[in-house]
Amino acid sequence: EIVLTQSPDTLSLSPGERVTLSCRASQTVSSTYLGWYQQKPGQAPRLLIYGTSSRATGIPDRFSGSGSGTDFTLTISRLEPEDFAVYYCQQYGSSPMYTFGQGTKLEIK
């Protein structure tokens, strides 16, 4: 099983700031199979990024993803009030058992 470790667990930031979230894998993950989701309280997760760097339908271009091998990042270039949420990375094919990271909570400072 591939373990994904996200850091930090919590980030306190202000609207307008730039943020980079980290996702580190216990073994190599193909860039094809790494994605990011956003989840707000009481809601189902929403796909943001797939294939490491491709934005899902309707996702604003302030969200971007990058990385390779075991280190991946999600960057939000300029935080909007609606971006404060929990973010999860997921590998969905480098191993037959899909896995999620434990999540990073983005909170308003």
Q: What residues line the site for other proteins (CB under 8 A)? A: 1, 32-33, 35, 37, 39, 44-47, 50-51, 56-57, 86, 88, 90, 92-93, 96-103
- Decide whether 13 or 100 has the Cβ nearer to other proteins: 100
- Decide whether 1 or 80 has the Cβ nearer to other proteins: 1
Give Rg (Cα) of the chain.
13
- Closest separation in Å from C-beta 35 to other proteins: 4
103 Cβ contact partners less than 8 Å away, ≥ 6 residues apart? 6, 9, 39, 86, 87, 88
41 Cβ contact partners less than 8 Å away, ≥ 6 residues apart? none
- Closest separation in Å from C-beta 83 to other proteins: 19
8 Cβ contact partners less than 8 Å away, ≥ 6 residues apart? 22, 104
- Closest separation in Å from C-beta 16 to other proteins: 28
**Alpha-helix runs per DSSP H in 1-109:** none
- Decide whether 16 or 41 has the Cβ nearer to other proteins: 41
